[in-house]
Amino acid sequence: MGLKVAVIGGGSTYTPELVQGLADRAASLPVDELALHDIDGERLAIVAGLAGRILRRQGWPGRLTTTTDRDAAIDSASFVLVQLRIGGQAARLTDETLPHRFGCIGQETTGPGGFAKALRTVPVVLALADDVARRSAADAWIVDFTNPVGIVTQALLDAGHRAIGLCNVAIGIQRRMAVRFDVTPDRVELEHVGLNHLTWIRAIRVDGVDRLPELIADHADELADESGTPTELLRALGALPSYYLHYYYQTREVLQEQLAGGTRAEDVMAIERELLELYRDPTLDRKPALLESRGGAFYSEAAAQLMASLHAGTGDVQVVDVRNDGALPDLPAAAVVEVPARIDRDGAHPLPLAPLAPELRGLVQAAKAYEELAIEAAIGGDPEVALKALLANPLVPDLRAAEGLLEAILEMNLRFLPRFASRA
C-alpha cells in the first residue's frame, strides 16, 4: 500500500522542487497521494498546474490533489511536510529592515528578524501538529522545512510530536564537494556540527578520508568567498563555516552592506513573481532554472531522501535537525542540533561527535539559550520573556536595542501574535 504525503504551504514556489524529488524516488517512496494545501487558492492552482505536468511527464503513478482545507490535506497522511511563511514576503521584508533602526542586521532566520519570525510561526506550527496527531496516520512524521527550522523543530519535539527538521545547507555543500572531487554524493560524508543556520563543517570525508585540511591549505580563498568568511579566520578555525556565520563574524560589515543596498526579500519577491508567470505556461513541464535563484537548491533531494529513508528504514546518514541525545557533549540531551544522523523507521539517530572547540562552543551555547527563550515567548506571549530572548540573542547589542526592537516587533506583528495581543 502506498503513502499519502501532505504539503502544508503547497503554493510555495519551492513545491516543484519537492515534486521533482518525489517523482525521482517513486520506486523507494511509493506515494499514492500527494496533497498540496495552501490558504491562497489561486496561487495553489498555478503551482499545482506545473506540479501535475512534471509528474505526468515522468509517468508518476500517484494522485495529485489540491485543497484549501487543511484537515482534508492531512487526513491519513503518513508524512506532513511543513513549508509555511506566516505573513508572507511582506513580513519577511519587515524582518529584514526593521532591525536596522536599532543598529542590528536584518535577516529572516537569525538575529531579531529571526526572532520575529519565530514568534509568528511557532504557535501556528504547533497547532498544525496537534491536528496532525488527531487526523493523520498513527505513525505520521512531520518534516519541518519552515524557518527558523531549529526553533520550530525544538518546539515540536518539546511538545511531544514526531518531527524532524530539515535544511538544505548541508546537502548543498555535500553536492558541491562531490562535484569538486568528481565522485557520487554518497561517497561524501560531512562532519556538520552546530545549530540550524549556525553550523561548521569540521571534516569532509571522501571514501572515509578527510579532505578538508588540504582544501583549506590549497583553496582557502575560494572557500572563504563561498562562506563569506575572511580567509585568515577560516584558516584559524580549521573548519568551514556555513554562510550564516558571516552574520556573527562580520556583523558591522554586513549591516553596512544592508543599509547601502536592497534586501533579499525584495529580490525574492521579484523572483517569485517571475516564477509564477513561468508556472502559468501550460507547456512548461520541468522546474525552471530560475528556481535555483529562489534559494531552494537540493531541497527536493533532501526532503524526498529523508522521507524515503524513514519509510524504508535504510539506515543511511543524513544531516537533520534532531534531539542531541549526547551527540554533542557541549549541549543538553534535549537540545535540538543540526548534525549527521542515521535514518531508519524509528527516526533520526544522531551520530556521536567530538566536543566543540571553545570558539564554536560559546556561540552555539549562547544561541541555544536564545532559542529556548524564543520558544517560551512565542508560546506564552509574555513580553518579559521576549525581552530576555532578545537580550540573549548574540546579534542584539544591548538592553536599549532589545527594548526598542521588542516594542517595534510587537507593533508590526501584533495581528499575527494573538498571545501578545491578549496582554496588550
Q: Is 210 helix (H, G, I), strand (E, B) or coil?
A: strand
Provide the β-strand partners of residue 416. none
Q: What is the DSSP letter of 46?
A: H
**Residue 409: which of 108, 99, 25 has the closest Cα?**
99
Distance CA 384, CA 202 (A): 38
Catalytic residue chosen out of the listed positions 14, 244, 248, 279: 244
Please, are residues 199 and 193 in contact by the beta-carbon 8 Å criterion? yes
Q: Is 265 helix (H, G, I), strand (E, B) or coil?
A: helix
Strand 3-8 relative to strand 163-165, pairing: unpaired
For residues 186, 189, 195, 198, the Cα torsion angle rounded to the nearest 10 degrees is: -100
Distance CA 87, CA 121 (A): 9
Distance CA 280, CA 130 (A): 35
Residue keyed to cell 580563498: 221
Q: Specify the amino acid at residue 111.
A: G
DSSP states of 139-169: T-EEEE--SSHHHHHHHHHHTT--EEE--SH
Q: How far is CA 16 from CA 86, 156, 274, 284, 383, in A?
A: 20, 26, 15, 11, 39
Whether the bond between 148 and the residue before it is cis, its omega within 30 degrees of 0, is: yes
Task: Let me know if 279 is a catalytic residue.
Answer: no
Which string of b and e fits 59-71 if b means at least 16 CB within 10 Å?
A: ebebebbbbeebe
**Residue 167: which of 301, 335, 334, 348 has the closest Cα?**
301
What amino acid positions are annotated as catalytic residues? Answer: 244
